[in-house]
A = this chain, B = another copy of it.
Amino acid sequence: MVSLMFFGSSSYLCSSPSKNTKASLDFERKKVGPCTKLVRNVNLEKLKNNYLFPEITRRELEHVEKHPNVRLISLGTGDTTEPIPEQITSQMSNFAHALSTVEGYRGYGLEQGDKTLRQAIANTFYGNLCVKSSEVFVSDGAQSDISRLQLLLGSGVTIAVQDPTFPAYVDSSVIMGQTGRFHEATKTYQNVVYMPCGPQNSFFPDLAMTPRTDVIFFCSPNNPTGYVASRKQLHQLVEFAKTNGSIIIFDSAYAAFIEDGSPRSIYEIPGAREVAIEVSSFSKFAGFTGVRLGWTIIPDELLYSNGFPILNDFHRIVTTSFNGASNIAQAGGLACLSSAGLKEIRSVINYYKENRKILMETLVSLGLTVYGGVNAPYLWVHFRGSKSWDVFAEVLENTHIITVPGSGFGPGGEEYLRISGFGRRDDIIEASKRLQRFFNKRTKHFIFLSSASNNN
C-alpha cells in the first residue's frame, strides 16, 4: 500500500486491531456521533440555500443522471472553454519544469505577489492611471479577494449591492456578520441595501434614492445583466461615494469585453483613488478559471475615517490569511501580459464575443426581450411574469441547456435568465437551434391557448 511504503508499517493502522475490520469501521462511521459543544456560527445559519453556482452544478449532474444519453450544453456557470494560447501555457509549463532544477526552483513568494507581475498589471491595465505596483495585490482570484476584503472590513460595516449582482458580495457579507436575517417575502437580507438595476433605470441605480452605506459593491460590466456603466454614471457613483464617505469595491472582471469605450477601470474617474478598491481577474480575461489568478488594487490615498491607510491593513490580512497565488499561475499571468500574449488573448475574447452575438441574434429573432450581451459575455433575458427557476427548469427539461435563473443574483433577477456566451462554437450553434425550436413551439402553444380562450 502506498501509504505503508512511504510512511512505514505502523503509522496508519487504527490503534486497536479489533477495530480494524471494515464492518466495525463502517459501524463506527455510520453511528450518530455525539455532538461537540461548539455552537454553530449564527451567520452561517442565516445563509439561505447553497451558493448559487454549486447549486447549478448539482442540477446539471441530476439532469445528466436522468438523461445519460443527451448532449447537455452549459450556457450556465460562465466557465471558459477555449484553450489558453500556447504563448502562455508554454511559459507556465517551462516554469513548472524548472522547479526541478537548482536555478529554477522557487519556494515562498511574496504574499502580495511577484513584483514583476504586479508592475505588469499596473502597466497593462492602469498604464496612465498612476497605479503603482505597491498598490497591486496578486491573488488566486476574485472570489478569494472578496472574502479577504470582507475580513478587512469586519462585521460592523453596511453594504450596498446592485440588484441583481454576483452573489458572492452578499453571501460573503452574511458570513462576515454584516447582515441581519433573510426575509423570505422580499428575498433580501436585512441591513443590506439593494440598488435595483433594471430596464426602468437603464440598469444603473437611482443614487438619489439610495441610503448611505459604508461600502458599495459595484460590478461593471455587470454580472449578470451585462450592462456597463458609462463614464458619466461612474462620475455620479464616485461623487456619491465621496459625499457619503463610502468606499466602492469595483469589480472589473469583465472589462476586456467592453466594446463601446466605456470605462474599464474605476480609476479612469477623477477622485476614484480616494474612494475605490478595484478587484479583477485573469479568469474570464485569459481563461484562467482553473489556473486561478486575479488582483486587487488598493490606492495609497484610500484612508479610514481615522486617516490610517486601508492598504496597510489589507497587506496585513494578505500576509496572515494567504501565502500568495501559485507561482506557476503567476508565471502564466506575466506571459499573458506580454505583447504576444495580449494579442493571443484578444483572439480568444473575440471568439466569445462572436458566440454572444450568435445567441443574441437567435434570442432577439425569437421575439424575446434581451438585455446586456454587448459589453459583457452574458445575455439577460426577460420572461415577464415568470419565476426564474421555473423558466430555468423548463429550458433545461426541453432543450437540455443549462442557464442561470436570475433570482440567484438577487430579487431583481426574478423574471430573468442569464445566458452565457462562454462555450465551444459548435455548442453555441447547437444551443441556438434548440432554443429556436423550443421557443417557436412555446410561442405557438401560447398563441393556441390564447385562441382557444377567445373562442370560448
Contact = CB atoms under 8 A, between A and B. Distances in A.
Interface string A329-354: 10010000111001101100000000
A73 interface: no
A399 B340 CA distance: 47
B214 A130 contact: no
Interface stretch (A36-44, A196-204, A382-390): A36-44
Interface in A248-277: 256, 258, 261, 263-265, 268-270, 273-275
Interface in A48-99: 50-51, 53-54, 77, 79-86, 88-90, 92-94, 96-99
A102 B348 CA distance: 13
Interface stretch (A145-153, A369-377, A410-418): A145-153
Interface string A126-156: 1111100000000011011011100111111
A326 B326 contact: yes
Contacts of A8: 261
A25 B126 CA distance: 13
Given A79-B108, A156-B41, A326 B84 contact: no
Contacts of A94: 93
A154 B44 CA distance: 9
Given A25-B130, A154-B42, A35 B304 contact: yes
Contacts of A328: 92, 96, 291, 326, 328-329
What number of copies of this chain does the assembly contain?
2
Contacts of A89: 96-100
A152 B177 CA distance: 11
Contacts of A148: 147
Interface in A115-132: 123-130
A144 B125 CA distance: 27
A25 B317 CA distance: 29
Interface in A7-59: 7-8, 10-16, 19-20, 25, 28-29, 33-44, 47, 50-51, 53-54
A158 to B, nearest CB: 10
Contact of A38 (B97, B129, B247, B323): B247
Given A214-B38, A346-B6, A50 B316 contact: yes
Given A290-B109, A328-B96, A171 B264 contact: no
A105 B127 contact: no
A104 B322 CA distance: 29
Given A40-B305, A100-B86, A107 B290 contact: yes
8 tightest A-B contacts by CB? A37-B245, A41-B154, A147-B321, A33-B301, A290-B327, A79-B107, A92-B96, A3-B127
